[in-house]
Amino acid sequence: MSSLQMPKVDSSILSNKDKIVSDMGSIIKPKNVLSHPDELRPFETDGLTAYRKMPLAVAMPETVEEVSKILKYCNENKIKVVPRGAGTGLSGGSMPLEDCVLMAMGKFNKVLEIDYENRCVVTQPCVTNLAITHAVQDKGFYYAPDPSSQIACSIGGNVAENSGGVHSLKYGATTNNLLGIEVVLMDGTITKFGGKTMDSEGYDFLGLMTGSEGLLGVITEVTVKILKAPEVVKAALVGFPTIEDAGNCVAEIIAQGCIPAGMEIMDKALTKATNDYSKAGYPTDAEAMMIVEFDGTEHEVEDYIGKVKQIAEKNNSSSLKLSKSNEERLKFWAGRKAAFPACGVLAPDYMCMDGSIPRGKLAEVLNEISRLSKKYDLPVANAFHAGDGNLHPLIMFDANNPESLRKCEEFGADILKYCVKVGGALTGEHGVGIEKRELMCEAFNDKDIQQQLTIKVALDPNSLLNPGKVYPILRKCAEEGRVHVHGGKTKFPDIPRF
């Protein structure tokens, strides 16, 4: 992927840069259009930092009407647009293109309405995930999805990627906690899908837009459900002598009818790294460690914890530590949530993968990852949202060494292919972006991809909104509305792909 081709650069757009910048400066405030390389530099990459490209210009609209006008202008002048929220995405979904206008939504940063009666919050898209909880926590409410980057990631970006988090086993991902959005289509049409009610009728465009990775529209307003915080939350740290034991324990907890609020597993490498980094009190001698959390009323939580203790013992657990206070519980999570910086200490760079697998395949997949780690000679540490089967291997490499990057990409691709092979998915919550674009054919055949592209063409006939992301396409065929991809191989390898 380090040689990944992006859509063909339209040289007429590049040569027209001054006019485009000046035109946009007449649509929105001139100071909100950035075009000097020094101003553009901060926007050249997102959370997938191995890939960078400077955009033609950055537009920072302040109102939905401005978003609409900019999109309409770009649509009429065949200028590509890449939307961007907080830029924390891990799959390169908001990586700019050389000839694109990057639409930075940073000025949409206000919570618009807190509506306790209808248990929802209406907010602009660039408010951070955690800020929504902060806005309602004094009344004991919170917003459930909690991606690890929640302190920085924007709610609009969460919608675009359908972000999950460690509690999505019980509370679902973004799509299950969203009531409505306002969205602007590439032709400038402003519309609302959903509102403050559940299941708006007609086609579920809210569901379609969620997780569409900025390819179908630009989100300008979001309405999310809020929940009353549970009375009691307790977590347990459980050590296991083998990954198999940990995997069996997870399967049995679920089979017994317990649905924890969160259930995480880390392998020995990551347990040690995170414990060194955040002093979370983890059992560093265990081959696998599980954090399991229950919430609800006191009796409910006690009841579940009792069950988990029994199941863990039956599955040879080597240690079990129960959180005695909320502070201690948060400390348990602090380690897990610091998995990224902890790996940053171990290697110059790391790539975080994001496959989904059936829970029962955990041991098999981790064994394969460990085999691949030897094959590629790159260390790996594994975090796993065990409850919902979402695996995050962190591959450590050195981005300054092209060979190391190449090996890391191949390693990552092999892991994801294996996830698909055992019945899982290429991506559980980070999105396809540019990172997994070429792997789409592992999960889908021609017809599947073609159907999705037809939807794209229906809403954005010129394929100007975030092109080159998610779908592997032959340029020629894309224009005709057809793709010819099979088993990852194109029929016409000499034609530039995007």
Q: Which region, judged by CB under 8 A, interacts with another protein, from 50-58, 283-291, 393-401, 455-463?
A: 455-463
The DSSP code for 228 is: E
In whole angstroms, how close is the CB of 193 to another protein at the nearest point?
Answer: 8
Residues found in the chain: 498
Distance, in Å, from the CA atom of 18 to the CA atom of 35, rounded to the nearest integer, reads: 9
Contacts with another protein in 407-446 (CB under 8 A)?
423-432, 436, 440, 443-444
* DSSP per position, 318-380: SEEEE--SHHHHHHHHHHHHTHHHHHHHHSSEEEE--EE--GGGHHHHHHHHHHHHHHHT--E
For residue 277, the one-letter residue type is Y
Cβ distance to another protein smaller for residue 461 or 496:
461
Among 28, 59, 308, 470, the residue binding another protein under the rule CB under 8 A is: 470
Residue 138 is a binding residue for another protein (CB under 8 A): no
Using DSSP's 3-state secondary structure scheme, residue 69 falls into helix
Distance, in Å, from the CA atom of 259 to the CA atom of 237, rounded to the nearest integer, reads: 17
Distance, in Å, from the CA atom of 150 to the CA atom of 171, rounded to the nearest integer, reads: 16
Cβ distance to another protein smaller for residue 192 or 475:
192
For residue 99, the one-letter residue type is D
Residue 218 is a binding residue for another protein (CB under 8 A): no
Q: Which region, judged by CB under 8 A, interacts with another protein, from 12-20, 73-81, 297-305, 316-324?
A: 297-305
Q: Which residues contact 438 (CB under 8 A, 6 or more apart)?
A: 1, 4, 413, 472, 488
Contacts with another protein in 162-191 (CB under 8 A)?
162, 164, 168-169, 172-173, 175-176, 185, 189, 191
Cβ distance to another protein smaller for residue 356 or 490:
356
Cβ distance to another protein smaller for residue 126 or 470:
470
In whole angstroms, how close is the CB of 196 to another protein at the nearest point?
Answer: 4
Q: Which region, judged by CB under 8 A, interacts with another protein, from 129-137, 144-152, 236-244, 447-455?
A: 447-455
Contacts with another protein in 362-391 (CB under 8 A)?
385, 388-390
Q: Exposure pattern of 97-111 as b/e (b: 16+ CB <10 Å)?
A: bbbbbbbbbbbbeeb
Among 46, 66, 161, 182, the residue binding another protein under the rule CB under 8 A is: 161
Residue 297 is a binding residue for another protein (CB under 8 A): yes
CB of 279 closer than 8 Å to CB of 269: no
Among 19, 30, 41, 140, the residue binding another protein under the rule CB under 8 A is: 140
What is the chain's alpha carbon radius of gyration, rounded to the nearest angstrom?
A: 23
Query: How many residues form the binding site for another protein (CB under 8 A)?
Result: 93
Contacts with another protein in 303-362 (CB under 8 A)?
303-304, 356-360
Tokens of 52: 């960078």
Q: What are phi and psi of 191, to 5 degrees?
A: -150, 165
Among 103, 258, 408, 478, the residue binding another protein under the rule CB under 8 A is: 258
Q: Which region, judged by CB under 8 A, interacts with another protein, from 7-15, 147-155, 295-303, 483-491?
A: 295-303
Contacts with another protein in 38-57 (CB under 8 A)?
none
Q: Which region, judged by CB under 8 A, interacts with another protein, from 32-40, 69-77, 196-204, 487-495?
A: 196-204
Could you tell me the CA-to-CA distances from 283 to 39, 224, 239 in Å, in that order?
47, 37, 6
In whole angstroms, how close is the CB of 255 to another protein at the nearest point?
Answer: 5
In whole angstroms, how close is the CB of 279 to another protein at the nearest point?
Answer: 30
The DSSP code for 43 is: G
Return the residue matching tokens 């926590």: 137
Contacts with another protein in 88-127 (CB under 8 A)?
115-119
CB of 155 closer than 8 Å to CB of 145: no
Tokens of 406: 């190449």
Among 25, 188, 207, 344, the residue binding another protein under the rule CB under 8 A is: 207
